[in-house]
Amino acid sequence: MTSVTLVGINAKYIHSNLAIRCLRQAVVPRPVGLVELTINDTITHCVDRLLSQEPLVYGFSCYIWNIRYVLELAEILKASSPKCQIILGGPEVSYDASQILGAHPFIDAIVCGEGEEAFTQIIQAIDSGTDYKEMTIPGLVVKDRPRQATLQSLSHLEATPFAYTPGDLEALKGRIIYYETMRGCPFRCAYCLSSTLSGVRTQPLDRVFKELDFFIKHQVRQVKFVDRTFNVNPSRANQILAFLAAQPGDTNFHFEIAADLMDDEMFRIIASAPVGRFQFEIGVQSTHDPALQAITRKTDLTQVKANIRCLVALGNCHIHADLIAGLPHEDYHTFGRSFDTVIALGPQMLQVGFLKLLKGTRLREAAGDFGCRYRSFPPYEVISTQALSAMELQDLRHIEEMVDRYYNSGRFTHTLGFALKSRRWASPFAFFEALSRYWYAAGYDRGAQSRDQLYVILFEYFKAKRAEALAVELLALDARLQGIRKLPHGLLEGPVDSEQSFEILKDEDFVSAFLPELTAHTPKNRHKQVLFMPASSDLREYLDQEGETVVIYKDRFTLV
């Protein structure tokens, strides 16, 4: 049989590629090689890996984050092994296949849309000695015979085999596993590739439960559902969530959901789940009605906000909310209001993304209608619009960096919980705006900043802004909760007297209640693992606790 190698080039090592595994399983029992690399690997390393496979066919899975890397790699492979076939597939090559083939003569063919059926026919043809380029294969566009291919989608998703084997999970140990129970999306958001396909196709639930059980039994760390709007059918979503909530193990499951489609039963199921079992990503995108109308995104914002608050209040799942900067009709100030509205809901992460004018989307076709200028190269990110200047978008990128470093890191929870409500800043958006200007004015963007240095920078920023002493005290608390013992004078000052701290750790009743893991340890050994800081009257009032000393162990603390 002809040797075939499928190549997935991921954005990060922790990621994995679902597409190449779907294609491999589509031609079982025929052997197909898989190679996964990252865009951070050197070209030399990748060429070494791929040439050593010595296949006659290389298949690449192409996305906005890897297409330039794929093209560079494919050109080298073709020059090194002229008889090999280079076949591309994926969303980044499915909408302008003929143009890509014309511009890159080292590519032999492109599969447009969902590729299981086309890939199977190509491999069968090659194995039988037939020239697949002379065949009429739905979705296939070949060199020297350019044509406009129809984007292919499978009519019967249940016919596709399960993508993973036990060997895959062993090879991917510790990495994110991507999984699908459906394809398609009923909504027509103008910026999204899912809007280019019609209909939603689902896997039967008995199969879904069996496959999820497979992940759990193999102790996968995280399974990330790639289903668009997982809860578009609330009843079906609830059955899957209920199944997972009742399972043993520590596997985390990540879902992209529409918050306004959640019902009481879904909240009941989520509330019953173990802490950390579920993670929900909620695309709010904007709270500005003209922007939402322009992208044909129908959503009940009142319900979205209420349901995010309820999810956060449950306290047993991680909530990740998304906003998009650069949407039509949303200017700098209205984006700031969207930002303030969403961050006030209390999600653990607020991802500020920037509009990408993806190939095949209606928003790309209508870019001129709202004065959108965007990069002509991947990821096709917005540069300016009628409502947002290029400099304003740069300012938003600076703000996004601060949000990611400080808010999304989860290392400044108490500090930001206070600072974002402080009257010293007009709003949370104003806080991050001012912090970003301080950061860039001081030149911190010109070098890498360590975890400890982030505390120092925020401390210096608070001093420059004459922030309340309580803000600095909470920053010291957050630093100690990260196990940091040494920081500049003024931030971690006023250590608790060692005799006093030893007395606290000699109290066996206290240790049993707050430090049960250390009951078998001596006070001296306990002292090496526990941190202390004095508690001001302001801190005691803010935390609503009595006591003069904060006792900190790992990620928890109490006052005594």
Quickly count: other Cβ atoms within 10 Å of residue 25's Cβ. Answer: 17
Q: What confidence tier does 275 reach under pLDDT thresholds 50, 70, 90?
A: very high
31-48: pLDDT as tens digits: 999 999 999 999 999 999
Q: Cβ distance 40 to 70 under 8 Å?
A: no
Distance of CA 450 to the CA centre of its chain: 22
229 dihedral zone (left: phi>0; alpha: psi -120 to 50; beta): left
- What is the structure's pLDDT at 488? 74
Q: Cβ distance 256 to 233 under 8 Å?
A: no
Q: State which amino acid sits at residue 485.
A: R
Q: Rounded to an integer, what distance in angstroms lies between the CA atom of residue 119 and that of residue 102? A: 21
The contacts of residue 455 (CB under 8 Å, 6+ apart) are 475, 478, 479, 484, 487, 491
Length of the chain, in residues: 560
pTM: 0.94
- What is the structure's pLDDT at 487? 79
Q: Cβ distance 86 to 60 under 8 Å?
A: yes
The 3-state DSSP class for residue 60 equals strand
- DSSP letters along 142-161, please? ETTB---PPPB--S-GGGSP
Neighbour-count burial for 31-52, b at 16+ CB within 10 Å, e otherwise: ebbbbbbbeebeeeebeeebee
> Among residues 529, 531, 522, which one has the least CA distance to residue 550?
531
Q: What is the DSSP letter of 547?
A: -
73-114: pLDDT as tens digits: 999 999 999 999 999 999 999 999 999 999 999 999 999 999
307-330: pLDDT as tens digits: 999 999 999 999 999 999 999 999
What's the whole-number mean pLDDT along residues 192-210?
89
- What is the structure's pLDDT at 90? 96
Task: Give the whole-number percent of the chain exceeding pLDDT 90.
Answer: 89
CA angle (473 as vertex; 488, 553 as ends), nearest 5: 90
Backbone angles phi, psi at 202, to 5 degrees: -125, 155
- What is the structure's pLDDT at 146? 63
> Among residues 132, 87, 138, which one has the least CA distance to residue 110?
87
Backbone angles phi, psi at 156, to 5 degrees: -125, 95
Q: Cβ distance 8 to 37 under 8 Å?
A: yes
- Looking at per-residue pLDDT, the higher value among 231 and 493 belongs to 231
Q: Which domains does the chain have, with CATH numbers?
A: 4-142 (3.40.50.2300), 157-385 (3.20.20.70), 389-491 (no CATH), 494-559 (no CATH)
> Among residues 17, 273, 284, 31, which one has the least CA distance to residue 168?
17
Torsion angle, alpha carbons of 123, 125, 129, 135, to 10: -140
Average pLDDT of the chain is 94
pLDDT at 289 over 70: yes
The 3-state DSSP class for residue 349 equals strand
- What is the structure's pLDDT at 1? 55
Paired sense of beta strands 222-225 and 252-257, if any: parallel
What's the whole-number mean pLDDT along residues 414-436?
96
Helices (H), 442-522: 451-464, 469-481, 498-506, 508-514
Quickly count: other Cβ atoms within 10 Å of residue 442's Cβ. Answer: 13
Quickly count: other Cβ atoms within 10 Å of residue 431's Cβ. Answer: 24
386-424: pLDDT as tens digits: 999 999 999 999 999 999 999 999 999 999 999 999 989
Quickly count: other Cβ atoms within 10 Å of residue 99's Cβ. Answer: 11
Quickly count: other Cβ atoms within 10 Å of residue 386's Cβ. Answer: 12
Taking only Cα atoms into account, the Rg of the chain, rounded to an integer number of angstroms, comes to 27
Q: Is the dihedral of CA 413, 484, 317, 458 positive or negative?
A: positive
531-546: pLDDT as tens digits: 999 999 999 999 999 9
Q: Which residues pair with 318 in a beta bridge?
A: 279
Q: Rounded to an integer, what distance in angstroms lies between the CA atom of residue 512 and that of residue 392? A: 54
